Every structure is written in C-alpha cells, then in structure tokens.
Amino acid sequence: MGGSSLSSCPGYAKQFQNEMLRQKENPECQNPTMQRIISTTSSNFAEVTKDMSVLLANNLAVFVAGELRGMSSSVAAHITLCSAYKYLQLSRLPPRVNRINYPAWFFLASVYGPDHEELRPYRD
C-alpha cells in the first residue's frame, strides 16, 4: 500500500474487529506480547476510523490485518524487523523530509508506541 493507489475491499473495516478476535484466538498469538499488540491495534483502529471515510478505513484495515499476519513476538522485539518499517523514508533531496504512509505509521505506532525514537520524526 506504500504509495500505491487506493483500492477498497468493501466492508473490510466493519469486519476488522472480528478479524482481531480471530487473531487473538490463533494459537500462534497466545503470548502476552501478541495479545497486547492485537488489543492495542484493535482499540486504536476503532478510535481512528470513527470519522474516517469508508474507503480509507477499508484500506487501513487491509494493511493492518496483513501486517499482523506477519507479526510475531520476535519481530515485535525490534522495530526494524517489522515489515511496515520499510515504509519509513527520508527524502534524499532538499529539503530533507521524513515521510511515511499513514497505514504504516498507524501500525508501527500501535505496536511500538507513537513516541518510539524511530517514529518521533514522522509524528512531529
């Protein structure tokens, strides 16, 4: 989704919370780290999508669900191991500007916290 056009999966945002419940029941997600990540992501998603367009909410849901499928407690141990981390970019041309797409920032902030040292430049 990084830089690609938006293409909605109709209704996915509405199904997102059920997907999170299924993830919480997944035997591979029974450790405390994964349970925390799923809970935090689920509650953050509910909060940010309240006033979001359906198209954007559906795309956010698709991105986050995909990232969660690749997440594990060992990946959660360090932000650079997370596949969403590749979306962090520093512009090579002046003015040097930090860039990240919103779905990647949302996911990383949900997992690592918005105040993580790697995310601060993108938050401010």
Confidence at 41, pLDDT banded by 50, 70, 90: very high
* pLDDT the model gives residue 2: 44
Tell me, yes or no, whether 7 lies in a domain: no
- Gyration radius from the chain CA atoms: 15
Query: Which pLDDT tens digit goes with each residue over 79-120?
Result: 889 999 888 875 555 666 778 889 999 999 999 998 888 888
Kindly tell me if the per-residue pLDDT of 8 is higher than 70.
no
pTM of structure: 0.82
* pLDDT the model gives residue 89: 72
Q: Which two tokens stand for residue 39?
A: 């809970």
* pLDDT the model gives residue 77: 87
Contact call for residues 68 and 38 (beta carbons, < 8 A)? yes
Tell me, yes or no, whether 115 lies in a domain: yes
Number of structural domains found in the chain: 1
Range of the domain at 67: 12-123
Write phi, then psi, for 17 (nearest 5 degrees).
Answer: -65, -35
Averaged pLDDT for residues 61-89:
89
Q: Which two tokens stand for residue 118?
A: 């790697």
Pairing between strand 89-90 and 98-99?
Answer: antiparallel
